[in-house]
Structure 1
Amino acid sequence: MQTILTGKSSNPYSPRMGHDRFARWRLVMMRRRRLLLSFSGIDGSGKTTQVKLLENRLKQNGIPTVRMWSRWRPLLSLPLLQVLRWTGQLRVHKKDFLSIVEFQDHKNEGVASLWCFATQLENFLKTSLKISLPLALGRTVICDRYTLDLLVDGMSDLHDSPNSLRLGFKLLRLLPRPDRAFLIDTDAEVAFERKPDLPTVSHNVERIRLFRSMYHNAGVKLMDGRRSPDAIHQDVWSLVSGMISSR
């Protein structure tokens, strides 16, 4: 009997057939698995670029994905903001559509704690609502700024240490923990040149100091933001795709 060899194997137990089935199974699992991912870093660090690259990569693999941006905006805390501005206890720096609020009276701990609670309660409620519905619908959510960023902004504006025990900051720790979180770390001067949203470079320096002192305990992966965006993305994707396929 003569055996005719072709390019395709009909043997269901052949390595090639097994590889194809595994690839299809892996893709199905990736589509079913919802994830909460986050990118942190100072303005101009390149985190938004990484968010967009990962969002596109996930969508190309058939994974429903939404992007969420989280930054404090005065709504419930607006009346308190106006009172503290009138009394000279807060200074507001405005740049484009951003408002950076800096606490001036460092000795008035009671007012500082009240302001912290009001703003972080607002952050907690708005961020919870933004991520809850997409996750409930089975979508992967990528956060452009998340808990670590909100903590750093709040502590920097109040001139607090990373060990601050204010009740407002404790609220943020109740937000869902990301399946994978990244901190895009870069130099203060480079970030300020890219995106001068903060009043001075020194504001970037202070925020970088807080990020670097807090990221490890928060379970965040440090990424060198001085590398090319594509190189950073490849490292991010290897971690995210590996995590999805292992679930």
Structure 2
Amino acid sequence: MSDPQPGSGTFLTFEGIDGSGKSTQASLLADRLRANGRDVVLTREPGGSTGAEEIRRLVLEGDPDRWSAETEILLFTAARRDHMERTILPALAAGKVVICDRFADSTRMYQGLSRGDLRGLVDALHDLMIGREPDITVLIDMDPEIGLQRALARQGSEERFEDFGPELQQQMRAGFLALAHDFADRFRVIDGNRPVEAVADDVFAIAAPALT
């Protein structure tokens, strides 16, 4: 996949276990940047484009064992490709700031590791069909038990992966921290076990220098 032309915008992603507050922090950062005059596109994965939202409903609703891990990887990659083509790359080419709630790192964790040793397949498909990493990835690190309690308390949640239980949360936290080590050039880890405002201030302090 070809990248935007020179002079493109900035691509930031938020990652973390379920209930970590990443979605809240992504929204707060978008609001703060807009208040400072930046043109921001706030999006999410899976989803963020018409086709990707249709795939989102396929993978996040229904029985947790509805799809094999391999099928999920193909579905998520297809959703991400459409998202990139329709939303992310055009916005970056126009010089906008793109803030995405989850991206490929979540697929590396949830499908690539938690449901089998398929990380290599995830990375191979990513290289072939996506070919781009974020400029900055903010990892909101959260106590797994607290995160799961928050996730399960959400009304009308469609995140079927929460049904996998506390063991998945523990595994995912360890996996995300390992990714932060492997991709230290783009990952920034923030302690999410604090008031929302304190976390938001740290997020802005990380994002602002990349936007100058």
Give the shorter-chain TM-score range. 0.7 to 0.9
CA contact (8 A) 1:45 1:191 kept: yes
Consecutive unaligned residues of structure 1, counting only runs of 5 or more, are 1-31, 82-91, 105-110
Matched residue, 1:241 = 208
Query: Cα distance, 1:121 vs. partner?
Result: 3.2
Where does 1:1-247 land on structure 2 (aligned, <5 Å)?
34-71=9-46, 98-99=61-62, 101-102=64-65, 113=70, 115=71, 118-129=74-85, 130-160=87-117, 164-166=119-121, 168-173=122-127, 174-196=130-152, 197=159, 198-199=162-163, 200-218=165-183, 219-245=186-212
Change (3 A) 1:135 1:190: same
Aligned AA (2:188): K
| Counterparts of 2:208 and 2:29, CA distance in 1 | 10
Query: Cα distance, 1:112 vs. partner?
Result: 5.9
Aligned AA (1:240): A
Change (3 A) 1:141 1:77: closer
TM-score normalised to the size of structure 1?
Answer: 0.65
CA contact (8 A) 1:102 1:158 kept: no
Change (3 A) 1:112 1:43: closer
- Secondary structure of the structure 1 residue equivalent to 2:111: helix
Change (3 A) 1:70 1:202: same
Change (3 A) 1:158 1:190: same
Moved more, 171-180 or 43-52: 171-180
Change (3 A) 1:176 1:191: same
Q: CA RMSD in A?
A: 3.0
Query: Cα distance, 1:119 vs. partner?
Result: 2.6
CA contact (8 A) 1:33 1:244 kept: no
CA-to-aligned-CA distance 1:158-207 (integer Å, 9 cap, x gap): 2227xx322x4322244422222110011111011111241122221222
| Counterparts of 1:119 and 1:76, CA distance in 2 | 7
Q: How many residues align?
A: 188
CA contact (8 A) 2:20 2:142 kept: yes
CA contact (8 A) 1:120 1:172 kept: no
CA contact (8 A) 1:116 1:169 kept: no
- Secondary structure of the structure 1 residue equivalent to 2:140: strand
Change (3 A) 1:117 1:144: closer
Q: Percent identity?
A: 26
